[in-house]
Chains A and B, each alone.
Chain A
Amino acid sequence: DAGITQSPRHKVTETGTPVTLRCHQTENHRYMYWYRQDPGHGLRLIHYSYGVKDTDKGEVSDGYSVSRSKTEDFLLTLESATSSQTSVYFCAISESSHRGLRNEQFFGPGTRLTVL
């Protein structure tokens, strides 16, 4: 398995509180991604990063922000959590985005977040 850890693995919080999820990799991969997984929706991309301090929005970025100050860490922040953000959050990494090179994504173990 790729060296990806997520913390915390489980979190319960209240509406309106800030929450930060951390993804840490030991593979030195350039690309990192945050997805949320919800029943009936599969996985949807929230934000991704293509390098240190380089990030971009995904399909469902509203209410989320990210930061990447080091290659190995990608943080996802919910500035003011809402019940609609109750979900399982997965981090993924990828070695390259260049076509023709190995570019599958490897996933972390996930964080189950409940917003009451």
Chain B
Amino acid sequence: AQSVSQHNHHVILSEAASLELGCNYSYGGTVNLFWYVQYPGQHLQLLLKYFSGDPLVKGIKGFEAEFIKSKFSFNLRKPSVQWSDTAEYFCAVDTGGGNKLTFGTGTQLKVEL
């Protein structure tokens, strides 16, 4: 079965620090990849997605992610975090064109002033 691993469960950063959150998946075929963000008390919102083409994808709020097929990875990055980036971040993988998403367990990011 497909699995998604997010190795960083809790991350604490100071404002302006750089961020990289890891995401690895187990499926060897064609995948669609997503990062979602959940701000405290809110629903999940899409940050960015990869379907095909340029493996470096840019999303909202200055986030980007790089798809490295050989490493089965889709890491999320942001050069300079803000306090408002405090949230939980979920990586998700779709191997069937949108029928089902398999989510990682999430990374709780806290940005301190």
Contacts and interface: CB of A to CB of B under 8 A. Distances in A.
Interface of A: 31, 33, 35, 40-45, 48, 50, 58-59, 90, 92, 94, 96-100, 103-110
A33 B92 CA distance: 15
A31 B98 contact: yes
Interface residues of B, number: 27
What is the interface of chain B mostly: helix, strand, loop, or mixed?
loop
Interface in B57-91: 90
Contacts of A59: 102
Nearest to B101: A105
A106 B51 CA distance: 16
24 contacts: A31-B98, A35-B103, A40-B105, A41-B105, A42-B90, A43-B44, A44-B103, A45-B101, A48-B99, A48-B100, A50-B99, A97-B96, A97-B99, A98-B97, A98-B98, A99-B30, A99-B51, A100-B52, A104-B49, A105-B101, A106-B46, A107-B44, A109-B43, A110-B43
